[in-house]
Amino acid sequence: MTPLPAIRPERLLDRLAAFAAIGRTAKGGVDRQALTEGDRAARALLARLARARGFALFQDAAANLFVRREGADSGLPPLLVGSHLDTQPTGGRFDGALGTLAAFELLEALEDAGLATPRAVELVAWTNEEGSRFSPGCLGSQAFAAGRLAPEWLEARAPDGARLGEELAATLAALPEVAMRPLGTPVAAYLELHIEQGPVLEREDVPIGAVSAIQGTRWLEVTMEGAAAHAGTTPLAFRRDPMVAAVAALHHLQTRVMPEDPAARLTVGRIRAEPGSINAVPERVSFSVDIRHPDAGRLAAIEAEVRDVCTASATAQDCTARVAVRFDMAPLAFAEEMIRAVETAAAKAGLASRRLVSGAFHDALFLARVAPAGMIFVPCRDGVSHNEAEDVEPRFSAAGATVLLGGALELLGL
Ligand code: HGY
Ligand code: MN
Ligand code: MN
Ligand code: MN
């Protein structure tokens, strides 16, 4: 009887440390933004580790990177496990990396045990989950689910001016020996381990979250336009100042939306004035609005409120306002059998679990469009994420990887 595979926690922690060193920031976080040299270095390390274990490697036109351990019937769609390697500009060591490296640990545990699985098991590292360098987020998993890379995405520009098309080509070219495969190959099921990025599990001292749903997300880009003018000579009555309009709109949004609806999340993370000169009234002010809500109707209502407030604030300053939707993901409920597979795996490992809704979006949102998808959460310290102080206790990293392996065995019927 082949012994059941087991996670080797110290090996997982070593891998996490090795990847955390790629793009490490002075404060001990990670800056490994999508399609940068750091992202390419992390992909190269994963490819090296995979080749050393004899796993097959593939990538697709969206630069999603796959590591495949063959199964008894190579014609069957694989079980897919994974997450992302790209990070926020001041990101943490675990957001994305934990799920990706726990998936690699899963493949190694299967290999160490010599366990023949009925179908292949594949790890995936999705391209540009974060969306902070290039919009939209979840670009790789969206392209995979749609079976196509939207041409307009290739024109996306990073704050440093880089064009996504070139960065994508450079990333593909950085792994020339990795075989290409079509976008959107069939998948039997998808399972992702991720840190909760919120306070619930830690506060309740529960090691495993069986994610029941993911709330909706909508990203808006607001552009207010007025007239550039001299800071010293232009009296108030002659000004058409988009900064005054933007500040009025932001004040309304920040003092009304979340206080009036505790389930709503509204974040303005980026604001830019052009030409950005200290002694010129700006011609243009643009800012980002990240809206989250578990209810699709409320998400739409908040977008409408943003539009109304921005138009009114701009008009009051004899300016104009444009609001573009950059990213739009409806709330998603995971299938009951996938939530149960996570709960069963946790119970078999003797770990307490509880269901919860994800406040963050994830690649699993798009995988759920093409296959049964599920997510496992583990606690992160103080619920902090998208912050260099992000931290996870080693016991929770091991617990998450154990449940990922257990969930995979459940889904494989083993
Ligand atoms: O923004 C998000 O929800 C994800 O963490 N990138
Ligand atoms: Mn993430
Ligand atoms: Mn993130
Ligand atoms: Mn994610």
- Count helices and strands (H / E) in the chain: 11, 17
Q: Is 138 in the pocket of ligand 1 (CB under 6 A)?
A: no
Range of the domain at 302: 216-329
Taking a C-beta distance cutoff of 8 angstroms, is the pair 330, 138 a contact?
Answer: no
Buried b vs exposed e over 37-58: b needs ≥16 C-beta within 10 Å? ebbbbbbebbbebbeeeebebb
98 and 165 housed in the same domain: yes
What residues have CB less than 8 Å from 260, skipping those under 6 apart? none
Mean pLDDT of 25-44: 98
Please give the ipTM for the structure prediction. 0.93
- For residue 386, give the ligand nearest its CA: 3
- The closest of 104, 90, 120, 101 to 186, measured between CA atoms, is 120
Buried b vs exposed e over 221-254: b needs ≥16 C-beta within 10 Å? bbbbbbbbbeeeebeeeebbbbbbbbbbbbebbe
87 and 163 housed in the same domain: yes
62 and 191 housed in the same domain: yes
Q: What percent of the chain has pLDDT over 90?
A: 99
pLDDT bin (cut points 50, 70, 90) of residue 1 is: low
Is residue 159 in some structural domain?
yes
In order, the DSSP letters of 316-364 are HTT-EEEEEEEEEE--EEPPHHHHHHHHHHHHHTT--EEEEEESS--TH
Q: Is 137 in the pocket of ligand 1 (CB under 6 A)?
A: yes
pLDDT in tens, 293-313: 999 999 999 999 999 999 999
Measured in Å, residue 86 CA sits from the centre of ligand 4 at 10
Q: Biggest alpha carbon distance in the chain?
A: 87
Mean pLDDT of 231-237: 97
- For residue 137, give the ligand nearest its CA: 1
Residue 155 burial (C-beta neighbours within 10 Å; 0-12, 13-18, 19+): exposed
Whether residue 248 is predicted with pLDDT greater than 80 in this model: the reply is yes
241 and 296 housed in the same domain: yes
343 and 306 housed in the same domain: no
pLDDT in tens, 95-111: 999 999 999 999 999 99
Is residue 150 in some structural domain?
yes
Q: Which amino acid is at 232?
A: G
346 and 394 housed in the same domain: yes
Taking a C-beta distance cutoff of 8 angstroms, is the pair 140, 363 a contact?
Answer: yes
65 and 143 housed in the same domain: yes
At 86, list the tokens: 């790209």
pLDDT in tens, 357-395: 999 999 999 999 999 999 999 999 999 999 999 999 999
Is residue 386 in some structural domain?
yes
At 66, list the tokens: 């796959």
Mutate to test the pocket of ligand 1, among 30, 94, 130 (most ligand atoms within 8 A of CB): 130
Is residue 287 in some structural domain?
yes
pTM for the model:
0.94
Mutate to test the pocket of ligand 1, among 126, 129, 365 (most ligand atoms within 8 A of CB): 129
Taking a C-beta distance cutoff of 8 angstroms, is the pair 376, 194 a contact?
Answer: yes
246 and 393 housed in the same domain: no
Q: What percent of the chain has pLDDT over 70?
A: 99
At 182, list the tokens: 């079509």
Mean pLDDT of 275-283: 98
Q: SS3 for 208?
A: strand
- How far is residue 273's CA from residue 365's CA, in Å, rounded to a whole number? 34
Is residue 323 in some structural domain?
yes
Q: What is the pLDDT of residue 353?
A: 98
Of the residues 264, 299, 329, the one at which a domain ends: 329
pLDDT bin (cut points 50, 70, 90) of residue 10 is: very high
Of the residues 299, 329, 359, the one at which a domain ends: 329
Q: Cα 291 vs. chain centroid, distance in angstroms?
A: 15
246 and 390 housed in the same domain: no
Instruction: Give the total number of structural domains in the chain.
Output: 2
Measured in Å, residue 386 CA sits from the centre of ligand 2 at 9
Whether residue 2 is predicted with pLDDT greater than 70 in this model: the reply is no
Measured in Å, residue 294 CA sits from the centre of ligand 4 at 17
Q: Is 251 annotated as a binding residue?
A: no
- How far is residue 242's CA from residue 223's CA, in Å, rounded to a whole number? 9
At 407, list the tokens: 């969930």
* Domain containing residue 388: CATH number: 3.40.630.10
pLDDT bin (cut points 50, 70, 90) of residue 4 is: confident
- How far is residue 361's CA from residue 50's CA, in Å, rounded to a whole number? 28
Q: Is 126 in the pocket of ligand 1 (CB under 6 A)?
A: no
- The closest of 165, 158, 127 to 145, measured between CA atoms, is 127
Atom number in ligand 1 closest to CA 88: 6
168 and 306 housed in the same domain: no
Atom number in ligand 1 closest to CA 292: 3
Q: Is 194 annotated as a binding residue?
A: yes
pLDDT in tens, 158-176: 999 999 999 999 999 999 9
CB atoms within 10 A of CB 104: 24
At 29, list the tokens: 């976080």
Measuring CA to CA, how many Å separate 2 from each of 111, 112, 220?
12, 11, 53
State in Å, rounded, how far the first CA of the chain is from the last one. Answer: 13
Taking a C-beta distance cutoff of 8 angstroms, is the pair 212, 334 a contact?
Answer: yes
224 and 367 housed in the same domain: no
Measuring CA to CA, how many Å separate 222 from each of 300, 308, 361?
16, 12, 22
Q: Is 361 in the pocket of ligand 1 (CB under 6 A)?
A: yes
- How far is residue 245's CA from residue 317's CA, in Å, rounded to a whole number? 6
- How far is residue 224's CA from residue 246's CA, in Å, rounded to a whole number? 7
Q: Is 230 annotated as a binding residue?
A: no
Atom number in ligand 1 closest to CA 132: 6
Of the residues 329, 348, 377, the one at which a domain ends: 329
Atom number in ligand 1 closest to CA 362: 4
